[in-house]
């Protein structure tokens, strides 16, 4: 069982500091457990890995098979929590160049995204890329009323209908939405599209392990049984109320202690480019959950070593309001030996015979040491390897620690009232009826 381990030795936080939060964390723990099955609350994600709809899960796998058979491309339409989780998992677990691989190697459809912006250029470019290829659409929206995915779906539905005719287009549209509310639900009922449900008590950014994430993830050939198994192991492990043992709770407490010490920005750091979208998912999870009531740790992210050549200067010597959390993949799946070169004109023969993973590891160690010496406390989340199980674990780890952390901070980590403000302005400017 590949556990996640936490290294807090570069945070300046001692065991005593952590245990100050013992009673508070125990109370939050009990409160979350009490609310887990309340359909009118948003804590349904807590037991989701063991309490999901098995019939729907089987239907997701069937739908993924069908998409794989009849489509070279799946267009995933959604925004925020309705697409970031799927993209995070797919990119973490497939080739860095998945969509560029020939079908023979890829074996599963390309996964392309729409409905996460309002750029005409983006949609036109996507239409061009799809060209004559066979494609299907998975439109995902919990509210069923979000503007960006609604516009994208209107466009791609029309393209599907023109290309395949109304009937066949219907069989290529998969809708993931609320079980009864919203314009998308109504449209799906009227058109007879296959539907998947986002449970009432699971909010958008906590929904990756529902059909929201699982259908696109399965369509990309990722084993969703194993993903759920990883989350199940995490659910079990992190139901341990002991703050001495529960790494997930310790992470939540550590970031709050750092925040009290004027560290207002947390940077999630990876040394594996495949985790770029995992960071985007994490940013949404923590940003939308904690940034309210004039509180919150601002979640940022860097990809290493890439961003050391752009953001490294600020992190080392800029305003001292930062701390870092590194996701360290201990055993990368791929390896690459650096060969010796007779001329050594590039001067890197000192690395000859070494594996690139070794160089990456030393870069990480050197960066941690430098940043810590520059007063940037450092948390390391160690993950044995990157696979379906460990990604399932990581998802649950961060979801639960986010819920604990938000509660310690004194905010409701399950709402997002601030997101509505810009929408009201935009709708007014666009002349939407009622605004
Ligand atoms: O976490 C959230 O609730 C949000 O980020 C939503 O996922 C996002 O706004 C999209 O909403 P919807 O799924 O209703 O289209």
Q: Along the 435 residues of the chain, how does pLDDT read in single tens digits? A: 678 999 999 999 999 999 999 999 999 999 999 999 999 999 999 999 999 999 999 999 999 999 999 999 999 999 999 999 999 999 999 999 999 999 999 999 999 999 999 999 999 999 999 999 999 999 999 999 999 999 999 999 999 999 999 999 999 999 999 999 999 999 999 999 999 999 999 999 999 999 999 999 999 999 999 999 999 999 999 999 999 999 999 999 999 999 999 999 999 999 999 999 999 999 999 999 999 999 999 999 999 999 999 999 999 999 999 999 999 999 999 999 999 999 999 999 999 999 999 999 999 999 999 999 999 999 999 999 999 999 999 999 999 999 999 999 999 999 999 988 898 999 999 999 999
Burial 121-154 (b: 16+ CB within 10 A, else e): eebeebeeebeeeebbbbbbbbbbbbbbbbebbe
221 Rama sector, left if φ>0, alpha if ψ -120 to 50, beta otherwise:
left
Report residue 340 as tokens. Answer: 């010796």
Asked if 247 and 4 touch (Cβ cutoff 8 Å), the reply is yes
The alpha carbon dihedral of 381, 383, 388, 393 has a sign of negative
**Residue 397 to residues 6, 88, 235, Cα–Cα distance (Å):** 11, 15, 8
Centroid of ligand 1 to alpha carbon of 68 (angstroms): 27
Quickly tell me which residue has 């516009």 as its tokens: 151
The CA distance from 36 to 47, in Å, is: 7
Q: From ligand 1's centre to the CA of 146, what distance in Å?
A: 8
CA gap 32, 246 in Å, rounded? 15
Between the CA of 201 and the centroid of ligand 1 the distance, in Å, is: 13
Residue 268 to residue 33: CA distance in whole angstroms? 28
CA nearest ligand 1 atom 9, residue = 80
289 lines ligand 1 (CB under 6 A): no
C-beta of 182 in contact with ligand 1 (< 6 A):
no
* Predicted structure pTM score: 0.98
């Amino acid at each position: 069982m590949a556990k996640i381990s936490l290294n807090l030795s570069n945070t300046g936080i001692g065991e005593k500091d952590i245990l100050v939060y013992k009673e508070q964390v125990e109370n939050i723990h009990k409160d979350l457990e009490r609310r887990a099955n309340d359909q009118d609350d948003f804590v349904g994600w807590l037991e989701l890995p063991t309490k999901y709809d098995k019939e729907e899960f089987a239907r997701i796998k069937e739908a993924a098979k069908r998409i794989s058979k009849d489509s070279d491309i799946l267009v995933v339409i959604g925004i925020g929590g309705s697409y970031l989780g799927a993209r995070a998992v797919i990119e973490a677990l497939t080739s860095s160049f998945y969509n560029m691989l020939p079908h023979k190697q890829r074996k599963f459809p390309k996964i392309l995204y729409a409905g996460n912006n309002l750029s005409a250029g983006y949609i036109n470019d996507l239409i061009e890329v799809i060209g004559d290829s066979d494609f299907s659409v998975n439109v995902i929206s919990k509210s069923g009323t979000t503007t960006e995915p609604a516009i994208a779906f209107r466009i791609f539905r029309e393209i599907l209908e023109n290309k395949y005719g109304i009937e066949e287009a219907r069989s290529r549209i998969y809708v993931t939405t609320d079980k009864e509310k919203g314009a998308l639900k109504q449209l799906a009922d009227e058109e007879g599209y296959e539907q998947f449900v986002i449970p009432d008590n699971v909010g958008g950014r906590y929904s990756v392990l529902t059909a929201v994430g699982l259908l696109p993830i399965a369509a990309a050939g990722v084993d969703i049984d194993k993903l759920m198994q990883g989350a199940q192991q995490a659910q079990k492990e992190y139901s341990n109320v002991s703050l001495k043992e529960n790494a997930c709770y310790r992470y939540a407490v550590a970031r709050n202690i750092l925040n009290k010490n004027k560290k207002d920005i947390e940077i999630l750091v990876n040394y594996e480019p495949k985790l770029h979208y995992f960071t985007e998912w994490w940013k949404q999870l923590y940003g939308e959950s904690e940034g309210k009531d004039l509180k919150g740790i601002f979640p940022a992210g860097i990809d290493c070593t890439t961003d050391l050549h752009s953001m490294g200067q600020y992190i080392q010597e800029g305003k001292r309001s930062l701390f870092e959390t590194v996701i360290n993949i201990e055993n990368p799946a791929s390896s690459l030996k650096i060969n010796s070169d007779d001329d050594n004109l590039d001067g890197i023969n000192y690395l000859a015979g070494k594996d690139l993973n070794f160089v990456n590891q030393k870069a990480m160690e050197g960066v941690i040491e430098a940043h810590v010496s520059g007063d940037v406390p450092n948390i390391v989340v160690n993950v044995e390897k990157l696979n379906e199980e460990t990604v399932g674990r990581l998802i649950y780890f961060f979801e639960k620690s986010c819920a604990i952390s938000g509660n310690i901070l004194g905010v409701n980590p399950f709402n997002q009232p601030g997101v509505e403000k810009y929408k009201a302005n935009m709708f007014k400017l666009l002349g939407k009826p009622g605004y």
